[in-house]
Amino acid sequence: MRVLFATDLHGLPRHLQELADWAGVYRPNLLLVGGDALPDGDVADPVGTQVRFLLTEMRRHFEVIKDRSPDSNIATIVGNHDWLCTYDAMIDLERDGLLQILPSDNAPLFGEYSFVGYSYTPPCPYAVKDFERLDFPGQPYLFDGGVIWDRQRGRPVPVNAAVYLGAAPSLQEDLARVPVAASLDWILVSHAPPFETDLDILPEIGHVGSRSIKDFILQRQPLLSLHGHIHESPGLSGRFWQRLGRTIAVNPGQRDDGLAAVLIDLAEESITLTPLGIAGASGGSPVTLARPAAWGPA
Ligand SMILES: [Zn+2]
């Protein structure tokens, strides 16, 4: 099985074009988009900007991908830059058979692998809070301002983010409810990367990933965990993957000047990661990793 994984496209036209081109060249069984695919647009009008972009530009590019690579499935999660109204609009694309949103509670199968999606991130300075949660109960909240999409009123509303997030389940509590995968060959797609790894480094700040995601990976040991959110990390650490117990965790990051992605070949005996345009991935050479005989808790 061949998976093409790209994340954090942020609505950049060249990135969308390259994604469609690469899907045509590599013809993956599954194209995975790991959240934050849309431009930020106007915080006062997410429907007129972000939702419109999803239903026009993104739809058009996904249709091109389906046209060039008819056997490719497309699956996605959302990220912290995405609004709840965008998620609702994505359900329309799902109904049209264009993509599948990966849920956390009912992992769909692609080939012999089941995929669990997880969109929430720990708190960030970005204003939109729809897909943010405290990492763990009682985590101190350090940022000002906040806005969420009010489904009933159909418009954005400002919130006191410390109060709002304090009342919601934390990532730790939320992840504890994710059903244990039926198959050992399951794959986690989580927008936030695990804390204190080569995959979660910001310039001048350091490690900003999620402690709860890391604990979840170490406890549940998916075959692969695929991340984004911290675009700069591979360029800073020089690595786009690392092992966490038996799990191979990957963050291809993203660049401003062209698409970064990873092509993942899942074979019976091995897993090959081919970096495509990833900053810090020396020479872009493929990495082939042996698969342990049995996957399970380390
Ligand atoms: Zn992003």
Q: CA nearest 241: which of 219, 263, 269? A: 263
Is residue 274 within 8 A of residue 240, CB to CB? The reply is no
Question: What separation in Å is there between the alpha carbon of 35 and the centre of ligand 1?
Answer: 7
Question: What separation in Å is there between the alpha carbon of 37 and the centre of ligand 1?
Answer: 8
Contacts of 257 (CB under 8 A, 6+ apart): none
Question: What separation in Å is there between the alpha carbon of 40 and the centre of ligand 1?
Answer: 10
pLDDT value for 294: 60
Question: What separation in Å is there between the alpha carbon of 127 and the centre of ligand 1?
Answer: 13
- Could you give the 3-state DSSP secondary structure of residue 261? strand
Question: What separation in Å is there between the alpha carbon of 290 and the centre of ligand 1?
Answer: 31
Question: What separation in Å is there between the alpha carbon of 36 and the centre of ligand 1?
Answer: 5
CATH topology of domain 2-119+178-290: Purple Acid Phosphatase; chain A, domain 2 (3.60.21)
pLDDT value for 296: 46
pTM for the model: 0.96
pLDDT value for 86: 96
Look at the alpha carbons of 126, 132, 138, 139 in this order and tell me if their dihedral is positive or negative. negative
Low-confidence ranges of the chain (pLDDT < 50): 296-298
Question: What separation in Å is there between the alpha carbon of 10 and the centre of ligand 1?
Answer: 7
